[in-house]
Structure 1
């Protein structure tokens, strides 16, 4: 009896251990060969900085706002696309609360690697459980799980965009819920699957929801020949699942709505090109694309010639429909929210094929003669593909290709042998081993060829992360001392702009950000309203999703609360700053004119008038005159005109052209072309503002360099390109020549203007702005408070990015918060004593929470109704 129990226990545990082993071996290159599962793109520039900051913020109770994200920004909504609504993320937050991890960029990447192993295992476990629920033998369930878990796109995402692998976990659960509902009439698991799919990521929830709708239509037989009776209950259950996720779903969707993602119309071809077609064998069954099917899935081709039961037909239709989508470029756009082509939807295609695989295997074993013919044809075609790879693709088959194909052919031959043998338990074991080897060879080959070699993960050895802007020892010491206490507010400018989210790692208040859903008003403030020259750490030009400040523009950096600058030691000290620390690599400078979180203004300019000024003139007014909506102008004066910068006369006609020529407003530039424009240097401290409009006649990228300050502008057809045509460069006051260097091409150039700003005037204005400022300041997360006493009417400028979600109370009563300076917050006040309190809640959180609560109530009623009906 005990032996029988042990045998039963072993049969249950062995498949699970096999799947765990497969998940580990899929990550061989990272677990055992010292490579890091990340590439030096968004995986490091965004996610490796996001993740630890979000985990620590949530563990600390800061759910809605962070001052270390850019100039300050939303955590729940603007990071819902990444992590902040993910169930796995909250599991990590709980672990952080219990164990208080010591995070770094390298430790974050290492943590995500182990989390990837767990997700890989759970995805295969879910698939295995789903197939076993359908009463298929364990070896078929293992085949299905391996086919799903070895999806190449899983490992591409694990290295490039790790949060997208979580979608793999919830598709098997949701389809199990659908089958369970069909069998029992109980919808709890279907609702749970919908909730998890949508809650984990609203973008992937959209893709998964399309698939769930298609699966429900294809897999669900009609009840009493009634479409309404069949699908209306499923639609209701879907709505409940969606509603349960609404507390996270709605903030995520609204964050996209309020963001500055530009609507560049994508150009979608009708068909893919000849090169794509030539590489199809390797894309579908190899590792050069994002599918990487096991070779055994080719058995689907036999289904066309076989009679099949209703379930097999339904599953085959579902897989076929998605496989047809694979050949239609427009469907890639549909799954990407009707935007440009993306491959992120492949996980549902992988699932559909893996889900149908047990049925295909069962049907094929019933026709051994046809199976033999198919196996021989498949083997012949696979050998042809292997032999002709170099001719078709320009690269010969490597050992991983040969191994994957060899094990794939072996699995086909073993499968045929199983159909002939009467007792095939040991053949089934060999078959599963061949499948596993096929999967491992494919995945490991992909990780080496693409992730490690092509994408450069092999260069990211542990020592790489000790460099500046990552886990740099000096920076840890410097920036840990520059985190403001709760009773103070200041920002720190980090002069090495390699990582725009650097402040999120160390917790100081920074001046740059990189996020796909940046708030529109703040993004426009930087790139359009004040046209701040953008650094180019991503090497892809002026693009959406990033902003960096301040290009040394004294008025902006002082007005927005910069107190410290951390600069490379050999870099020139900024005007008026005092050196307070020096290390081997950096110098730390303090700004005696720092204004903190607030400034007091009595001079205003209407937004209508302000919009008519050019960006250099706007910059000159920043510390003197507040931009407000027309109805809030304090006095209809034009005092602001006296503060406009001095105009310096320059003329392109008097410029010196080297390997360049100017005719009829067109500048033609050859290699090494330069335009030199003389100006008279100033003796007093100050800065020049040089502005001009320039666009290529042809749609091409443009590299622009003015006195050593570079801007890269990509072609307008580049989907992430930001559509600016004018550029502002700040130059030192001692400059006696403007040198413009441009990459070869023909350009329309116009509107050259040069202005002069006096630093002494700026410094005097900064002092005037501090005539009244808040006392008893308290800044923590999404709350700001302080006391203020004023003796004149004016507007208190707050260095808080404006949002309607900031709720203001003045002396305990709700008051109106103004949007000033085009993107920041202001409070209109008369003479008096004030207690000022502000609090922030993510847009859509409370309405979403109400829907979530109502949906939970609906789910409870549905459950009680089902119990009463059954009883």
Structure 2
């Protein structure tokens, strides 16, 4: 046994090291930085801490307790199709590791997965080089370590969902190459299908690169027209089968994308460079990444000195056919242009500009550079002196350019320039040494050592430029949310939503089994933020936050419970829960649960997911930037009245201008500082004459970048507005108590757009909501995608829901399928007859059944291909 193990290690040590060396390097770094479970810090940063970790919690709960959540979830804003979310965020097989980690220890699971992906990327590329026979021995380890720790991987370490692409890319290219030279094609088909299922977004980029690689293979050598046609046909058929295999996920995902990301596709393209192309050179400097590079930066293409030198040497390597080098040069030019020319950049990103993390496909460019370098640096054999000097001159030019433009690049310093120069010099010096067979192993070892230290230093410096969430910052609010969620879910109440006045992220509901109405996802359906913008809640292209509800919207949207922190409540470690919003309206709701940290309120006005409304609701108009009017019309149309006015504009009792030019008009006025060097603010004072609800509307100019708001001399808890007017609840049961609002300028001027104070007629609102509640509709949630219940109507009505419309929903009344349609440009509705009836709502993702059928057929075709290829009888396919 010991002999066999020793033989295995000796035979496969390059691949073993290709896996373990990146794991040890990055694992050592994480431990040294005290990352959980080895300290108080964590890997959670930016989207990993604010978005992905919540999806991972949802992943665990779905697989362990709620399989129907794979198809639909009411924790996704106000409800939505989840297949698109799984296809983008959660289909990586590595995520299965999370099942063994309790939710409070998910950060440890994230670290383990991250390390495994580093190792698997190295192993994958090492295997690719071995089978392509471009490298062997320790040289494989050198290339593999650089690939697994390249600049793109380090910069996107937090985007765990994308990292699988670096693992699959070498394997897909290898099997694609094998299929082109007449070997079995089914491994390529399976690998490409798995990649498309794993992450269609990265899979799309790999498909584009497959076209380039195919052209490189096809025309780098002379081939007859007949052979070109055969290879093209074979490649197309194989790729189509791979796509068909993944249709069970891709087809319903595509329909989901049509209503989400597809709505933001660029219709016009500017034929321009996005920046001066020479700036790309700065990314070959060690540590060329920091936080500023996340929202808008340059491509992350650092691969290390020796491989950049190898890439340069490839094009002057006379041992490689000139035909291949010319074609490689043309493809390289295309890839470089893709990194800076807008039309090509958009092509790689599916005709959508990335929101943060630009040039997401640059891992493909790094792969290409390393691949070409591997074809010329075969075991780092002797290189002619003039080529070394040429490489030295080019590298010196890169460093000189970066040094002369150092102030333009926030990620470059004198230290990193010096480190880069040192490693480049050492690499060139070792390469220049003419080594015979006796000392060649030493030369390879030295190059491996230099390259490994260089690539590790780049990783450590780059990651050191980021800040991370502590384990406490994650675990503390999560524990509180889980406690509240468990209590509410044990009530076994009818279907409902739960609002929050504190939160950790917008995906608290998704992570903790709460239907909070808030959500953050790159695949958010466009109609949802549009709706939130109309009702006065914060929205963006990829997020919504139900933080600014009124008595009306709380009732109509079925916000039956609210979770809020107790004033002054501190956790054991002294950290308070983070406030999300002001909510004086809670004084009108009933406290049903109190812990040391939080209180839970019940809203008896909540109407449920469905209610019987007047048919005039079908005609409800769109009111952008007028949430008060929209909510008035929504309630009136639901009840069947036209003239009820629930909100009345109010004047402030006093307005104080400090270092600001005065004006008798407030709303839509632009106020400017008198003295730019001094603080400027406007103080608004009013004293409520009733105990009704008071609301303030704030236009998009009240973004947190423009102004700081204070309520009664305390910071106003309010999510920074983005593009639409929001409604802020600032008083309730405050009769004869002065309310003071302060707007402190952050810039030289402030536009008070849509700045109006309103008083609500709570009694009238209550009466009209009660009228709707009398039209009895009850719904019980059987699973994430099925609800059943009854309704009792005295006349024909509109069965209105606050479930987002989708053709996937099927409504049955007394077992008979009923036609559904969209109202308010958002919700599912149907016309129903009077009387008492049973209703059932069931959801199946659109085109899921068709996608499953296509996948089954493709699977049968694949089985036939495997059988024929294994017996070498499928002559038509292989010839």
Shared fold per TM-score greater than 0.5 = yes
Aligned Cα RMSD in Å? 4.0
Q: For residues 382-404 of structure 1, give each alpha carbon's deviation from its aligned partner in whole angstroms, at most 9, with x where no partner exists.
A: 88689879688688857777666
Offset at residue 546 of structure 1 (A): 1.6
Cα distance between partner residues in 1 of 2:367 and 2:92: 21
Offset at residue 577 of structure 1 (A): 1.4
Q: For residues 788-841 of structure 1, give each alpha carbon's deviation from its aligned partner in whole angstroms, at most 9, with x where no partner exists.
A: 343332233334222221111111121122434542333422223322111112
What is the TM-score normalised by the length of structure 1? 0.83
Check conservation: 2:799, 2:832, Cα contact below 8 A: yes
Check conservation: 1:626, 1:820, Cα contact below 8 A: no
Aligned match for 1:854, one of 852, 857, 869: 857
Check conservation: 2:152, 2:300, Cα contact below 8 A: yes
Cα distance between partner residues in 2 of 1:398 and 1:11: 43
Segments of 5+ residues of structure 2 without an aligned counterpart are 36-40, 294-298, 568-582
Aligned match for 1:431, one of 447, 458, 473: 447
Count of residue pairs the alignment pairs up: 819
In structure 2, the partner of 1:630 is: none
Check conservation: 2:285, 2:416, Cα contact below 8 A: no
How is 1:592-603 mapped onto 2 (pairs within 5 angstroms)?
Answer: 592-602=604-614
In structure 1, the partner of 2:661 is: 660
Q: 1:415 to 1:2 in 2, by over 3 A?
A: farther
What is the TM-score normalised by the length of structure 2? 0.83
Q: For residues 598-631 of structure 1, give each alpha carbon's deviation from its aligned partner in whole angstroms, at most 9, with x where no partner exists.
A: 333346344255769953133134445329xxxx
Offset at residue 495 of structure 1 (A): 0.6
Deviates more, 1:313-322 or 1:230-239: 313-322
In structure 2, the partner of 1:238 is: 239
Cα distance between partner residues in 2 of 1:363 and 1:352: 18
Offset at residue 256 of structure 1 (A): 2.6
Check conservation: 1:266, 1:339, Cα contact below 8 A: no
Cα distance between partner residues in 2 of 1:239 and 1:584: 59
Offset at residue 548 of structure 1 (A): 1.6
Offset at residue 407 of structure 1 (A): 4.9
Query: Would you say 1:69 and 2:80 are equivalent positions?
Result: no
In structure 1, the partner of 2:641 is: 640
Deviates more, 1:512-521 or 1:220-229: 220-229
Cα distance between partner residues in 1 of 2:86 and 2:558: 25
Offset at residue 53 of structure 1 (A): 0.6
In structure 1, the partner of 2:471 is: 462
Cα distance between partner residues in 2 of 1:456 and 1:286: 13
Offset at residue 775 of structure 1 (A): 5.2
In structure 2, the partner of 1:48 is: 53
In structure 2, the partner of 1:551 is: 548
Check conservation: 1:705, 1:742, Cα contact below 8 A: yes
Offset at residue 462 of structure 1 (A): 2.6
Check conservation: 1:284, 1:293, Cα contact below 8 A: no
Query: Would you say 1:86 and 2:92 are equivalent positions?
Result: yes
Check conservation: 1:661, 1:669, Cα contact below 8 A: no
Offset at residue 481 of structure 1 (A): 0.4
Offset at residue 512 of structure 1 (A): 1.2
In structure 1, the partner of 2:141 is: 142
In structure 2, the partner of 1:581 is: 593
Offset at residue 80 of structure 1 (A): 2.4
Cα distance between partner residues in 1 of 2:769 and 2:704: 42
Cα distance between partner residues in 1 of 2:553 and 2:282: 53
In structure 2, the partner of 1:539 is: none
Check conservation: 2:388, 2:428, Cα contact below 8 A: no
Offset at residue 141 of structure 1 (A): 2.5
Query: Would you say 1:513 and 2:519 are equivalent positions?
Result: yes
- Matched position secondary structure for 2:643: helix
Check conservation: 2:126, 2:141, Cα contact below 8 A: yes
- Matched position secondary structure for 1:483: helix
In structure 1, the partner of 2:559 is: 562
Aligned match for 2:688, one of 673, 681, 691: 681
Offset at residue 326 of structure 1 (A): 3.8
Check conservation: 2:805, 2:828, Cα contact below 8 A: yes
Offset at residue 523 of structure 1 (A): 1.9
Offset at residue 475 of structure 1 (A): 3.6
Cα distance between partner residues in 1 of 2:625 and 2:310: 68
How is 1:767-786 mapped onto 2 (pairs within 5 angstroms)?
Answer: 767-774=770-777, 777-786=780-789
Cα distance between partner residues in 2 of 1:278 and 1:365: 27
Cα distance between partner residues in 2 of 1:779 and 1:3: 59
Q: 1:661 to 1:38 in 2, by over 3 A?
A: farther
Cα distance between partner residues in 2 of 1:280 and 1:233: 39
Cα distance between partner residues in 2 of 1:751 and 1:375: 62
Cα distance between partner residues in 1 of 2:265 and 2:118: 35
Check conservation: 2:128, 2:171, Cα contact below 8 A: yes
How is 1:714-725 mapped onto 2 (pairs within 5 angstroms)?
Answer: 722=723, 724=724
In structure 1, the partner of 2:571 is: none
- Matched position secondary structure for 2:524: coil
Cα distance between partner residues in 2 of 1:817 and 1:440: 58
Q: For residues 181-205 of structure 1, give each alpha carbon's deviation from its aligned partner in whole angstroms, at most 9, with x where no partner exists.
A: 1222432122223212322222212
Check conservation: 2:84, 2:523, Cα contact below 8 A: no
Q: 1:859 to 1:489 in 2, by over 3 A?
A: same
In structure 2, the partner of 1:868 is: 873
Offset at residue 258 of structure 1 (A): 0.5
Q: 1:316 to 1:150 in 2, by over 3 A?
A: farther
Segments of 5+ residues of structure 1 without an aligned counterpart are 535-541, 628-638, 715-720
In structure 1, the partner of 2:826 is: 823
Cα distance between partner residues in 2 of 1:360 and 1:613: 61
Cα distance between partner residues in 2 of 1:38 and 1:618: 43
Cα distance between partner residues in 2 of 1:769 and 1:138: 76
Cα distance between partner residues in 2 of 1:488 and 1:155: 47
Cα distance between partner residues in 1 of 2:806 and 2:410: 54
Deviates more, 1:787-796 or 1:656-665: 656-665
